[in-house]
């Protein structure tokens, strides 16, 4: 539109300008000059303004943008894709970015337990190309500042208020997902598509941070104590188990030794019984084979030719052979004396 207006102005101005020329005339005997406007070949130079007018009928839309066509400020119901297009000289083309865009907001929120939270929240989004003219017609080119920023702040603050400060630390991904669900529903009515969201940073007051650190240190100390106690318990149980195993092993060993010793004794007893039976059988056979004559032969063979010096009497008294001889002589004398 601007080029068209400039082209028209240039054509008219050049046509008029080149129509003027200086004409000589005589007045009171003197030669003078005066401007005179009339058609002349120089005025065709004004046609150069048509080039400017022609350029105003051509527009280009860069890649990743949608061209919104307006006629004297009225938004048309069609759009231009990326490329070169022809339009009416009095039409304007507004270019809206339809690529994946990112917006980040820094805001202060409050948790359900009234803890102040400083948060940086980012949103990846893009406009719907097919409805780009509706966005421009209803919102304009500053749709991010006009629509998205208030909706993002409202969604973030409303969701953060549902969690305590401790829960915010532990549920960061869940927090981002809930905010994204709200933004998708809110912004789709404005033909804006939410692609992804993220909680980039979340910071608390120094007092709360110190309290959290102290709590974590206490939890770590408790965990270490529990681990040490569990280790000591495991070691005690292992020692007791070892003692039980050693006692069982010793009992099993004693049992095996006792059984082995009993088995040895049984074998020895069986062997002794067998030997005794064999000796008894041999003695029996030997006793059956001995005759009085054979016994006398063995006795004489064993005698060394010496008479015994003592003998055992009927009453068990041991007496000398000399005493026995004296006794026999006395008995003989008694028997030979005459009776009176």
- Residues 68, 17 share a domain: yes
322 belongs to a structural domain: no
Residue 164 DSSP class? -
Say which residue the tokens 């009453």 belong to. 315
- Residues 88, 143 share a domain: no
Say which residue the tokens 């650190």 belong to. 213
Local confidence pLDDT in tens for the 340 residues of the chain: 555 566 666 666 666 666 666 666 676 667 777 776 666 666 666 666 566 666 778 889 999 999 999 988 899 988 899 899 888 878 889 999 999 999 999 999 988 888 888 899 999 999 998 899 999 999 999 999 999 999 999 999 999 999 988 888 888 888 989 999 999 999 999 999 999 999 988 888 776 666 666 776 677 778 888 888 888 888 888 888 888 888 888 888 888 888 888 888 888 777 777 777 777 777 777 666 667 766 666 667 776 666 666 666 666 666 665 565 566 666 666 666 654 4
The residue among 96, 124, 143 that closes a domain is 96
- Residues 107, 91 share a domain: no
Distance CA 175, CA 202 (A): 11
3 state SS for 105-152: EEEEEECCCCCEEEEEEEEEEEECHHHHHHHHHHCCCCHHHHHHHHHH
187, 131 in Cβ contact below 8 A?
no
75, 30 in Cβ contact below 8 A?
no
Domain residues for the domain of 168 are 100-204
- Read off the pLDDT of residues 120-167 as tens digits, 9 standing for 90 and up: 999 999 999 889 999 999 999 999 999 999 999 999 999 999 998 888
The residue among 73, 96, 119 that closes a domain is 96
Q: In the prediction, which pLDDT does 223 show?
A: 81
Distance CA 181, CA 127 (A): 17
Distance CA 85, CA 290 (A): 152
The residue among 41, 75, 96 that closes a domain is 96
Burial 263-274 (b: 16+ CB within 10 A, else e): eeeeeeeeeeee
User: Taking the complete model, does pTM exceed 0.85, yes or no?
Assistant: no
- Residues 120, 199 share a domain: yes
If you count them, how many residues does the chain have?
340
Q: In the prediction, which pLDDT does 340 show?
A: 46
Into how many domains does the chain fold? Answer: 3
Residue 339 DSSP class? P
Q: Which two tokens stand for residue 21?
A: 């020329």
- Read off the pLDDT of residues 34-57 as tens digits, 9 standing for 90 and up: 776 666 666 666 666 566 666 778
Q: What is the CATH number of the domain that holds 111?
A: 3.30.479.30
Q: In the prediction, which pLDDT does 153 show?
A: 94
């Amino acid at each position: 539109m601007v080029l068209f207006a400039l082209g028209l102005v240039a054509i008219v101005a050049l046509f008029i300008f080149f129509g003027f020329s200086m004409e000589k005339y005589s007045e009171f005997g003197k030669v003078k000059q005066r401007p005179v406007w009339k058609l002349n070949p120089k005025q065709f130079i004004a046609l150069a303004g048509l080039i400017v007018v022609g350029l105003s009928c051509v527009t280009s839309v860069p890649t990743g943008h949608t061209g919104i066509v307006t006629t004297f400020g009225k938004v048309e119901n069609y759009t231009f894709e990326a490329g070169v297009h022809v339009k009416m000289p009095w039409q304007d083309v507004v270019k809206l970015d339809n690529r994946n865009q990112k917006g980040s907001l820094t805001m202060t929120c409050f948790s359900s337990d009234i803890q102040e939270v400083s948060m940086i929240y980012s949103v990846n989004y893009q406009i719907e190309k097919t409805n780009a003219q509706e966005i421009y017609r209803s919102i304009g080119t500053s749709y991010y500042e006009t629509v998205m920023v208030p909706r993002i702040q409202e969604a973030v603050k409303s969701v953060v208020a549902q969690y305590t400060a401790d829960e915010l630390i532990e549920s960061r991904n869940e927090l981002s997902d809930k905010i994204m669900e709200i933004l998708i529903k809110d912004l789709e009515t404005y033909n804006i598509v939410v692609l992804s969201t993220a909680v980039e940073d979340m910071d608390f007051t120094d007092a709360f941070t110190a309290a959290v650190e102290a709590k974590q240190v206490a939890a770590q100390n408790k965990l270490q104590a529990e681990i040490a106690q569990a280790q000591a318990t495991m070691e005690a149980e292992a020692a007791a188990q070892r003692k039980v195993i050693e006692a069982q092993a010793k009992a099993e060993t004693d049992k095996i030794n006792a059984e082995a010793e009993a088995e040895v004794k049984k074998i020895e007893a069986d062997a002794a019984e067998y030997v005794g039976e064999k000796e008894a059988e041999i003695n029996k056979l030997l006793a059956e084979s001995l005759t009085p004559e054979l016994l006398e032969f063995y006795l004489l063979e064993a005698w060394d030719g010496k008479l015994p010096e003592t003998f055992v009497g009927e009453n068990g008294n041991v007496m000398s052979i000399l005493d026995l001889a004296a006794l026999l002589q006395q008995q003989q004398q008694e028997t030979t004396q005459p009776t009176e």
